[in-house]
Structure 1
Amino acid sequence: MKPTVHPTPRPTLPLRAWSLLLLACAAALPPPAHASLLSGDALDTAANVISWFALLIVPVVLITVFWMVHILPEKIAEKRRHPQLAAIKTLCLLSLFFGGLLWPIAWLWAYTKPVLHKMAYGTDVDDHEEHGEALTPLHDAGIERHHHEHAAVAAPATAPARDARQDEVDALQRRIQSLEMALAMATGPARAGDAKDPGKAGE
C-alpha cells in the first residue's frame, strides 16, 4: 500500500498586497501628454506672437548686441587716446567681412602701448578732441598739416578768425613803427649835437 502524499499549499498573497502592487503599476504608467496649457485659438494666437517675436525682435536685438561688442576695440582706443585709432577702426570694419576673425587683433591693438609711435613722435597718446577725429596716415606724415597751411595762405582773407589775427598783426606793426619814429626823434638831436662838438664827446 502506497502512502498518500498531500501536496503542500502555495502561499497566497493577501488581498492588501495585491492592491498595493496594482497601485504601484498604475503609478508607473505614463500620464497622458498635454502639448500646452492652452488649446484651440488661444494656442494659435500664442504661437503667432512667439513666431513674430522670434522673426522680428530677436534678430534686431542680436545685431545690435553684435555691433556694440564689435566696436568695443575702437571705443577703448578712443578712451585711451591711442594714436592709431583710425587703423583700429579700419581693422574692426574689416573684421565684419572676415567673420569676426580680426576682432581679437583689434582688441589687443587697442590695449597695446604704441612703442614705435613713441619712438618716432615722442608720445604714445594723441588728443583726438583737439583734431575732432583720429589722426590719419597723411596727418602722421605731416602732409595733411602742410596742405592745410598752404590752403590757409591761399584762401581769401574773408574768414573772421583770419581777419581778427591780421588786424592784430597790423596794429602791432603800426605800434612798432610809431615807437621806432619816437626813438629816432628822441635820439636824433643828441646825435646831431655830438656830431657838431666832437671835443665834448671826447671829454
Structure 2
Amino acid sequence: MLLPSWAHASLLQGETLDRVADAAAWVVLVVAPVVVIGLFWMVHILPEKIAEKRRHPQVKAIQALCLLSLVFGGWLWPLAMVWATARPVLPARRDDDGAAPSPLPPPPSDGDPAVGEHGALHARLTGQAEQFEQQLARLRAHLRRLEQEDAAAADKPGPAAQAQWRPDDAAAGMPAIDRKG
C-alpha cells in the first residue's frame, strides 16, 4: 500500500502562509467589527431617517427611542420602526414661525419641469381651497345673522320667546320644546 509522503492543507507555505494568516487576523479583529458596527448603526437609525423623510411630527421621540434601543440591545427597534412608518395622530409639525404648514404643495417655479405636469393640479387645488374659504366665510356670516335674530326674538314676548329647549329633556326622550304658559 502506498501512502502519500506529503499532505498539504494549504497552497501556501512558510513565510507566505504566516503573512496571509497575519493579514486575516487583522481583518477579523479590526476591519470586520468596524464594518459590522457601521452596518448595525445604519440599520438602527433607519426608523429615524424614515420619520425625517416623512416629516413625522414626533421625529425627536423616534430618535430617542432608536438611541434607547441601542442601550436595550435592539428590543425597542421594532417599535421605533412601526412608529416611524405609522400615520401620525398629532397635528402636523409647525414651521419656525409657529404657523402650520400649508397642506398644498408649494407653487412650482418657472424653470421647474413639473410645471406642465403638476401646475394644473396645483392651480385647481388652490382654486378649490379659495372657494372653500369663501363658502366658510359665508356660512359664518349666516350663522352670526341667525344668532342675532335668535337673540332679538328672545327679547320679544310671544310663542318663540316662551319656547325653551333643554338638552337634558331631549336626551331623556322627552319633547324637545317645553311651552310655558
Q: Whose helix proportion is higher, 1 or 2? A: 1
